[in-house]
Structure 1
Amino acid sequence: MVAVSKNRPQELTRAELEIMRILWAEGPAVVHALLDAMEEPRPAYNTVSTIVRILEKKGFVGHKAYGKTHEYYPLISKDDYARRYMDTVLDNFFGGSLSRLVSFFSDHKAISVEETDAILNLLRDKK
């Protein structure tokens, strides 16, 4: 897989993320298949085609050509993107502190006892 530049992580727009979610879930697809997988109201074919080409320029998507038809596939995994995105959030909003991130969520969203136990177990397993 081709890696997105680590020096300048790129964030996906909402429209780009929608297409990437489909590619991550469904695998390689042509533009018509991407459109079929989208919820209503669906964008125009040319819009989806343009967004996919932007994703390709950004290094998130590659393609195989079959004549005039292009089948697109992700070059970065969902986990790799999520890791980079969360690292950016952690650095930009919480000074790189995981405890400040968890504190933020506990202050702004009710965390159940089960979720708290799951977090603690994950942290214990990482030691």
Structure 2
Amino acid sequence: MITLTKAEEKIMKILWGIEKGFIKDILEQYPDPKPPYNSVSTIVRVLVQKEIVGYTAYGNAHQYHPLISKEEYRKNQLSRLVSDYYNNSLKQVVNFFSESKELKKEEVDEVMRMLEDLKSKKDE
């Protein structure tokens, strides 16, 4: 299961946005105050070691690119969240949102349609 620190996640969000880039390209996407070049470089090297980021070498320079998609990471994180905090229970997740968040009627209707579609597919 993929686990990223906040700093690693920030870099991944940038890489998903730019698709590929050198450290300087990643740094350009940071808001001010920007972190030091060496800090970003170190985090990217950790992501390479975790096999989440790959690179193409051009002499001494490396152009980095994600090895996992944002969607893949999002699915992984949601699965971990549901597993760790809701005992793998969709019912508990829905209960949490229904009790702790003001849901608009339109959102509830849309979720109900989605669940009905899912139920129909399971019945086939």
Counterpart of 2:60? Answer: 68
| Cα separation, 1, equivalents of 2:32 and 2:102 | 32
| Residue 121 (1) aligns with residue 113 (2) | yes
1:78 CA drift (Å): 0.7
The alignment's TM-score, normalised by the length of structure 2, stands at 0.90
Contact residue 2 and residue 73 of structure 2 kept, 8 A: no
Aligned length: 119
Once the two structures are TM-superposed, the CA of residue 125 in structure 1 deviates from its matched residue by 2.9
The DSSP-based 3-state class of the residue aligned with 2:16 is: helix
Q: Supply the distance in 2 between the matched residues of 1:12 and 1:33 (Cα, whole angstroms).
A: 21
| TM score, norm. by length of structure 1 | 0.88
* Corresponding residue of 2:19: 27
Structure 1, 46-55 or 99-108: larger mean CA deviation? 99-108
Gaps of 5+ in 2: none
Structure with higher Rg: it is 2
Q: Pairwise mapping of residues 29-108 of structure 1 onto structure 2 (< 5 A)?
A: 29-108=21-100
More helix by share: 2
RMSD value over aligned CA atoms?
A: 1.1
Q: Which moved more, 1:104-113 or 1:44-53?
A: 104-113
Q: CA deviation at 1:31?
A: 0.4
Higher RCO (C-alpha 8 Å, min separation 6): 1
**2:107 aligns to what SS in structure 1?**
helix
Structure 1 runs (4+) greater than 4 angstroms displaced:
none
CA distance in 2, matches of 1:90, 1:67: 44
Percent sequence identity over aligned pairs: 40
